Amino acid sequence: MLGASAIERAGLKAWPGIDVEWDGTWVRRASNGYTKRANSIQCMDPADDGDAEARVVAAREWFAARGLPAIFRTNLLTGPRLAAELDRQGWSPVDHSSLMAMELDTVDPDPNGIALSVDDPSFLRAQQQLRGYDEGKLAKLRAILAVLDVPAAGTVVYAPDGRPVSSALMAVADGIVITGNVITDVTERQKGYAKAMMRTGLAWARQAGASIAALNVARDNVPGIALYESLGYARQYDYVYRIPGEAK
């Protein structure tokens, strides 16, 4: 299995920021506030944690200039001096999550599922309907999809009556398929639709050259973790977002 650095770097390509700036191996990404992952800063090398106080201040100023709150994504690539500085300044941990991954074998797609272009109206409509997005929120999703520069597909599974009931984004970067924006109709859960949707997307990803599959999941999402484990995913490492607090 690949290490955290390879998976995280693939994640940067599979869920890109619209406005991106590097500070050494720290990367700042802003995308109109759509998801923490695309609007956060993270370090890609734990050895690059020098001058942490000034760099944290610079990060806050960078996000403030874009009208966004500063958020750090911290994991095992976060250097000890950076972690200590966030603690000193009182940055609070939120959204405890895990990165799960697996080697990708041959997968059979579901007959009721389809892999679509990410700008296909059927995929966008499924995401909008299942998530309850207004036009403004949908526009933010479209903006991220517009800067995708790797093979990607929007997967959708339909109920027998033709309604979209489960959907996700699959993007392949550096041989790793990263799955995101997973959503299933709340009234149709526990019926196998999400697993069918994942199989459809993973089958597409295998054909697109992926040999590893990875995704992010909240630690308290017990049904989601069970679903991914049933597909073969296993927890690789944890991460948490840090949001600003008052300096101690």
For the chain, the structural domain boundaries read: 4-98+239-243, 102-237
Instruction: Confirm if 7 and 172 have CB atoms less than 8 A apart.
Output: no
Fold adopted by 102-237: Aminopeptidase (3.40.630)
Report domain 4-98+239-243's class: alpha beta
Q: Cβ of 226: how many Cβ atoms within 10 Å?
A: 9
Instruction: Confirm if 168 and 198 have CB atoms less than 8 A apart.
Output: yes
Instruction: Confirm if 194 and 225 have CB atoms less than 8 A apart.
Output: no
According to the model, what pLDDT value does residue 1 have?
A: 60
According to the model, what pLDDT value does residue 2 have?
A: 74
According to the model, what pLDDT value does residue 237 have?
A: 95
Phi and psi dihedrals of 241, rounded to 5?
-90, 145
According to the model, what pLDDT value does residue 248 have?
A: 36
Tens of pLDDT, residue by residue, the chain (248 residues): 678 999 999 999 999 999 999 999 999 999 998 889 999 999 999 999 999 999 999 999 999 999 999 999 999 999 999 999 999 999 999 999 999 999 999 889 999 899 999 999 999 999 999 999 999 999 999 999 999 999 999 999 999 999 999 999 999 999 999 999 999 999 988 899 999 999 999 999 999 999 999 999 999 999 999 999 999 999 999 999 999 975 33
Instruction: Confirm if 133 and 123 have CB atoms less than 8 A apart.
Output: no
Fold identical between 4-98+239-243 and 102-237?
Answer: yes
Instruction: Confirm if 197 and 123 have CB atoms less than 8 A apart.
Output: no
According to the model, what pLDDT value does residue 106 have?
A: 87
